[in-house]
A and B are shown apart, each in its own frame.
Chain A
């Protein structure tokens, strides 16, 4: 079942086209990454999915029906511009957000306490938001996003501002929610997370989708012309004629071969100059694909 579907969606502000004929589809139980450089149109696309702004043209469907506000009761949204009521107590705030989505107060209270325990913030439920750290506030906001048990979770840059421990906690929770059959869409700049978490992606640049599909299939489209070498000794082999580009991090080198570069020949040259601990032919990372696709064309 398609949870979200955008078909030829376009949005312009003044003289700037923010989103240009964007089409994408997210299925239930799918983790979807919306990628793109700054100003590419990710937030504009998400805001249209949430009905915050209207598209100039194109079609947006939620749960296989044309967009209607009632559908938003089944959607959880964490915007990039985070905000909470500073003077309100955490528990009251969470219950308030859930009630806006139609959850009864008692039930909302029970769910808020459960989630707070899981995300290790049960001890701050009685505190005012303004007394808490930014990381804590981000967790509260995340709970507010999922408290009404949404079938679609939309998050704009959910990992920004989180320390590594909390980022892992959030990753695990998202995977769990996905495994329960919910669709999760998030935008991010962190390619390692996309690679680890997402089933599908859509890469936007200057408002247009430049790459989209299942992560596995996208990576298959690119040649296995990347080599990782871990070595000790002379790094002179990195100047080999087989290499298009090499980055050396003190004994750890990431190499892109020329279009018809010979990996075996390179291995031979390397082993003649240095002791080789690892020589692995890998497919390009999403980060490399991102840079290759967008590089030089991004606005910011």
Chain B
């Protein structure tokens, strides 16, 4: 135990003094905020400032659609209305689109009482924001035209077409107590997303740090000196504890800074109303727990792999192994947020490689049952134990092998040696 602690302390001190720690502690949240900010700013103007022509033999319907498009103050648009005079009109409009005089035209074939058929022709094939807006405007325009035809006055028609906002409430159960609280789905989603993102980044960064540190020690030939004083298992345990403690320190810094920032008057004003975010104590406890478990799973896997490599370039080959569960977790984000209790969501939150990230994505929508937390943590612990068993065998032999990359049959032999 003495040696494990000494090795862990050395590893901790070396990493915490490094420039990489300072940069990632400050840089990672700043970078993430910048990415979110840019994504938000660039999406704000999407679908705005378009110039479209509504073409319909039913001029009333075309005007109704135009009114719907112009009523969206957030997305200014130039909308013309035209009545078709045969295929000549279509040819003219196509040439205007090609000459970029207009972004596109919506052609509505209205045929008396039957539902009209519509098609949009434009330059950009993937402009689904515009087609979505046009569809909504056409739907509302048809409803408005029909209501007007029944004799409803314009103000009533407008209020019907405008739609109704829905407030969201969540039923929460704390022991025997049941409470209903108003929530903001968007804010909850972003909170879960940010926590899952930070969790995946820290898990991967520190898992890779363990691997990199093993490669560096292998390159500097320090292992043989160390092996004459400490057991390979002590060396591996010390390394995992030391690097893990660095990760926890970073998370603690972020938590303290986060609490200080959220508690400031400026943030309080910004994060009120629809942007209000609440952190529960469970989230505060589970974040470091899942970090630690995710980190131990990845770092023990990478420790074994790193011992078989000669250079960091060789290690890079295994990067997709680390990234794949993260890709999978984030690829499932919509099914998880929309139905956090589906078979897929529950399975992914129990499957050890994806469990840490998916659990936080699920929590953004609804806190899963307690047994699922215990099950996912239990499965993580078992898989960490299994991975450590295999990795420490590879590590014991691999750290003394220099000169060439181990082949698969050699790795299998190493597993049998120890």
Binds B, one of A79-87, A230-238, A256-264, A273-281: A79-87
Most chain B CB within a 10 A radius of its CB, from A72, A75, A85, A102: A85
User: Is A88 close to B, CB under 8 A?
Assistant: yes
Contact mask B1-27 → A, CB, 8 Å, 1/0?
011001100100010001000000000
Are B229 and A72 neighbours in the complex by a CB distance under 8 Å? yes
Cα–Cα distance between A83 and B223 once the two chains are bound (Å): 7
- How far does the alpha carbon of A78 sit from the alpha carbon of B370 in the complex, in Å? 54
- Interchain Cβ contacts under 8 Å between A and B, 11 examples: A52-B400, A75-B228, A78-B225, A81-B221, A81-B402, A85-B217, A85-B220, A86-B216, A88-B10, A88-B14, A102-B2
Q: How far is the CA of A87 from the CA of B220 in the complex (A)?
A: 11
Tell whether, in the assembled complex, residue A100 and residue B230 are in contact, meaning their CB atoms are under 8 Å apart. yes
Q: Is A144 interfacial (CB 8 A cutoff)?
A: yes
B8 CB to closest chain A CB (Å) equals: 12
* A141 close to chain B: CB less than 8 A: yes
B227 at the interface (CB under 8 A from A): yes
Q: Which of A50, A82, A96, A102 contacts B228 (CB 8 A)?
A: A50
Query: Is residue B146 within 8 Å, beta carbon to beta carbon, of the partner chain?
Result: no
Instruction: List A residues 178-202 near B (Cβ within 8 Å).
Output: none
Q: Is B127 an interface residue (CB 8 A)?
A: no
In the bound complex, do residue A100 and residue B6 qualify as a contact, i.e. CB atoms below 8 Å apart?
yes
Say which size band chain A's interface belongs to.
Answer: 20 to 34
Query: Cα distance A85–B7 when bound, in Å?
Result: 12
Determine how close the nearest CB of chain B comes to the CB of A73; give it in whole angstroms: 8
Minimum Cβ distance to chain A for residue B234 (Å): 10
Q: Which B residues fall within an 8 A CB radius of A?
A: 2-3, 6-7, 10, 14, 18, 216-217, 220-231, 400, 402
A141 B225 Cβ-Cβ under 8 A: yes
Residues of chain A within 8 A (CB-CB) of B216 are 86
CB-CB under 8 A from A144, the residues of chain B are 225
Q: Do the beta carbons of A83 and B220 come within 8 Å of each other?
A: yes
Among candidates B6, B221, B223, residue contacting A96 with C-beta atoms closer than 8 Å: B6
Alpha-carbon distance A82/B224, docked complex (angstroms): 8
- The answer to whether B229 and A86 have CB atoms under 8 Å apart is no
Report A44-91 residues with CB < 8 Å from chain B CB. Answer: 47, 50-53, 69, 72, 75, 77-79, 81-88
B222 touches A84 (CB 8 A): yes
Task: Select from chain A the residue with minimum beta-carbon distance to B397.
Answer: A53
Do B3 and A83 touch (CB < 8 A)? no
Separation of A86 and B228 alpha carbons in the complex (Å):
19
* Set of chain A residues within 8 Å of B400, measured between Cβ atoms: 52-53
Contacting pair A86 B10 (CB below 8 A): no
Name the CB-closest residue of A to B232. Answer: A52
* Known pairs A52-B400, A85-B220; A79 contacts B228 (CB<8 A): yes
Inter-chain contact B227/A86, CB cutoff 8 Å: no
Asked if B225 and A77 sit within 8 Å, CB to CB, the answer is yes
Query: Do B224 and A81 have beta carbons less than 8 Å apart?
Result: yes
Given contacts A83-B220, A85-B220, A86-B220, contact A96 B225 (CB under 8 A): no
Contact B217 A101, beta carbon cutoff 8 Å: no
Instruction: Looking at the assembled complex, report how far the CB atom of B225 sits from the nearest CB atom of chain A, in whole angstroms.
Output: 6
Which chain B residues border A77 with CB–CB below 8 Å? 225, 228
Q: Is the interface of A mostly helix, strand, loop or mixed?
A: loop
B contact residues around A75 at 8 Å (CB):
228
| Given known A52-B224, A52-B400, A81-B402, contact A87–B229 (CB-CB < 8 A) | no
A115 contacts the other chain (CB 8 A)? no
Q: Which 5 A-B pairs rank lowest in CB-CB distance, beginning with the nearest? A: A83-B222, A83-B221, A77-B228, A79-B224, A81-B221
If the complex has contacts A69-B231, A72-B229, A102-B2, are A96 and B10 also in contact, measured as CB distance less than 8 A?
A: yes
**A99 at the binding interface (Cβ < 8 Å):** yes
Q: Once bound together, how far apart are the Cα atoms of A287 and B367, in whole Å?
A: 79
Complex-state Cα separation, A97 to B10, whole angstroms: 11
Closest to A101 in B: B229
Report Cα–Cα, A102/B229, bound state, in Å: 10
- Chain A min CB distance to B121 (Å): 64
Q: With the chains together, A85 CA to B213 CA distance in Å? A: 11
B residues less than 8 Å from A102 (CB atoms): 2
Cα(A141)–Cα(B224), bound, Å: 12
In Å, the complex CA distance between A96 and B14 comes to 13
A259 to B: closest C-beta gap in Å: 45
- How far apart are B277's CB and chain A's nearest CB, in angstroms? 40
Query: B291 CB to closest chain A CB, in angstroms?
Result: 25
Residues of A within 8 A of B402 (CB): 81
Closest residue of A by beta carbon distance from B7: A100
Q: How far is the CA of A75 from the CA of B228 in the complex (A)?
A: 9
CB pair B231–A83 under 8 Å, yes or no, is no
Note all chain A residues with C-beta closer than 8 A to B14: 85, 87-88
Contact A97 B225 (CB under 8 A): yes
Of chain A, the residue at the smallest CB distance from B15 is A87
Q: What residue in chain B is nearest A145 (Cβ atoms)?
A: B225
- Judge whether B229 and A97 touch: CB under 8 Å: yes
Pick from B3, B217, B221, B228: contact of A52, CB under 8 Å: B228
State A100–B229 Cα separation when bound (angstroms). Answer: 6
Specify the chain A residue showing the minimal Cβ separation from B224: A79
Of B3, B217, B227, B231, most buried by chain A (CB within 10 Å of CB) is B227
* Smallest beta-carbon distance A88→chain B, Å: 7
Q: Specify which chain B residues have a CB less than 8 angstroms from the CB of A81 in the assembled complex.
A: 221, 224, 402
Q: Mark A6-47, 1 if CB is under 8 A from B, else 0.
A: 000000000000000000000000000000000000000001
The residues in A between 273 and 293 inclusive whose CB is less than 8 angstroms from any CB of B are none
Distance between Cα atoms of A47 and B223 in the complex (Å): 12
User: Which residue of chain A has the shortest Cβ distance to B402 in the bound complex?
Assistant: A81
Find B222's partner among A52, A69, A85 (CB 8 Å cutoff).
A85
Q: How far is the CA of A85 from the CA of B222 in the complex (A)?
A: 7
Distance of A100 Cα from B9 Cα, bound (Å): 12
**Across the interface, do B3 and A100 meet the contact criterion of CB distance under 8 Å?**
yes
CB-CB under 8 A from B224, the residues of chain A are 47, 52, 79, 81, 83
CA distance A100 to B235 in the complex (A): 11
Chain B residue contacts of A96, Cβ below 8 A: 6, 10
